[in-house]
């Protein structure tokens, strides 16, 4: 297929005018920060600007742990990171659409409201977001849990008193399952009287994973008396009404529970199509100065497009390296080829399940838990300035 692209050759460390290379990164999640750190390591003189509306980066793969630890423990301020990696943070929410990115490519300038920011290359790494929050009592979605202490939410749940209370957790995917096991562990340690239900739209738990994966989780849920409620979907209206609807038509009001957590996954506002090097494509046009990475991106060719921290981090690194290659004299980018090498799900303290190497190689229990912790520690090291990732 024929494509069109426009190149302006510049040195990888300086522009043609002798100014340092300026890269703007929109989005400070896993993809954005991994790209930023890779750029800083490879190009110490480059100017880097990070645009993100929040004041802090959230280590979201540890969000379920905030059921028993402070929310602040998984936040790291961009101010701290900026001092460590020498970049400028602009706290601003950027509106992005096809028309704007075409303008950015042509003008090499992005509008930040009260001023214009020029750049040589721009990386879109805005990730994905959860569903719109409903203003209902004792109802929290994923976004709300990034802003409110999970431990305090549980404390309020327990302090309300009364007979056996119910927690409805909507969404039996990885995030929902990890929260379910953390909640179960903490409430049992508090000797609380409760019932925990996990509702999911599918007939089988974790059906996109290997069967042994879901089977192990279901067995552990049975042992802990966490109820799995299959084939229930969540419905809400503009009038702030919400209920659960079964495949057979039965309806249940979510107000029947004392606490409802909706963890049905995330999706990007726009899924940007990129070539195998991470450069944005609009129809037949390749925008050579606009790259994308993370959950908001879909790359051509063989590399992993899974919506995981692992894939986001690897895409960010690949995009950063290709920005530097595109900035050089060769203007030759490398294809993103990373394949997922594993996935591990936490099931509370000292327990986990996952696969390593290939989806048929299932690990369980303490060995899986140690792999999960090692993976988290590797990312913690990256944020501290120690890059132990290969490739």
Segment (H or E) for 213: helix 211-224
339-382 confidence digits (pLDDT tens): 999 999 999 999 999 999 999 999 999 999 999 999 999 999 99
The number of CA neighbours under 13 Å toward the Cβ of 287 is 27
Domain 143-262: which CATH number of 3.40.50.300, 3.50.50.60, 3.40.109.10, 3.20.20.370: 3.50.50.60
Domain topology for 4-129+267-340? FAD/NAD(P)-binding domain (3.50.50)
CA distance 16 to 11: 7
Provide, rounded to the nearest whole percent, the portion of the chain with pLDDT above 70: 93
Between helices 174-189 and 211-224, what is the axis angle to 10°?
A: 20
C-alpha closest to that of 352 among 216, 189, 183: 216
116-171 confidence digits (pLDDT tens): 999 999 999 999 987 777 788 899 999 999 999 999 999 999 988 677 799 999 99
C-alpha closest to that of 64 among 150, 170, 139, 138: 150
Pairing of strands 342-346, 352-356: antiparallel
Is there a common fold for 4-129+267-340 and 143-262? yes
289-328 confidence digits (pLDDT tens): 999 999 999 999 889 999 999 999 999 999 999 999 999 8
C-alpha closest to that of 354 among 373, 377, 381: 373
C-alpha closest to that of 29 among 104, 100, 124, 147: 124
The pLDDT of residue 273 is: 98
Asked if residues 36 and 85 have their Cβ atoms less than 8 Å apart, the reply is yes
Domain-wise residue ranges, the chain: 4-129+267-340, 143-262, 341-385
């Amino acid at each position: 297929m024929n494509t069109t692209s426009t190149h302006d050759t510049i040195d990888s460390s300086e522009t043609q005018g002798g100014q340092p290379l300026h890269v703007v990164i929109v989005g400070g999640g896993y993809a954005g920060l991994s790209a930023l750190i890779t750029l800083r390591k490879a190009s110490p003189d480059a100017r880097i600007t990070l645009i993100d509306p929040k004041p802090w980066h959230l280590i979201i793969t540890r969000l379920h742990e905030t059921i028993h630890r402070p929310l602040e423990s998984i936040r790291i301020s961009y101010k701290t990171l900026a001092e460590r990696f020498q970049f400028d943070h602009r706290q601003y929410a950027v509106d992005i659409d096809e028309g704007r990115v075409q303008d950015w490519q042509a003008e090499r300038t992005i509008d930040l409201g009260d001023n214009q920011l020029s750049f040589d290359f721009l990386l879109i790494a805005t990730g994905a977001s959860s569903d719109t929050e409903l203003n209902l009592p004792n109802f929290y979605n994923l976004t709300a849990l990034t802003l409110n202490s999970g431990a305090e939410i549980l404390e309020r749940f327990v302090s309300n008193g009364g007979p056996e209370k119910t927690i409805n957790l909507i969404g039996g995917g990885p995030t929902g399952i990890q929260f379910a096991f953390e909640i179960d562990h903490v409430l049992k340690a508090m000797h609380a009287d409760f019932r925990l239900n996990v509702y999911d739209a599918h007939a089988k738990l974790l059906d996109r994973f290997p069967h042994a994966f879901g089977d192990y989780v279901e067995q552990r849920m049975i042992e802990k008396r966490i109820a799995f409620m299959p084939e229930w979907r969540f419905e809400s209206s503009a009038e702030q009404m919400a209920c659960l609807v079964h495949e057979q038509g039965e309806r249940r009001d979510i107000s029947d529970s004392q606490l409802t957590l909706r963890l049905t996954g995330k999706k990007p506002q726009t899924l940007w199509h990129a070539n195998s090097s991470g450069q944005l494509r609009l129809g037949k046009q390749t925008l050579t100065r606009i790259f994308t990475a993370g959950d908001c991106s879909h790359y051509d060719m063989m590399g992993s497009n899974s919506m995981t921290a692992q894939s986001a981090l690897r895409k960010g690194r690949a995009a950063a390296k290709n920005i530097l290659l595109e900035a050089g004299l060769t203007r030759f980018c490398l294809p993103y080829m990373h394949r997922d090498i594993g996935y591990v799900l936490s099931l509370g303290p000292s327990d986990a399940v996952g696969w390593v190497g290939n989806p048929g190689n299932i690990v369980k229990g303490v060995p899986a838990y140690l792999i999960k912790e090692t993976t988290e520690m590797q990312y913690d090291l990256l944020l501290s300035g120690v890059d132990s990732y290969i490739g």
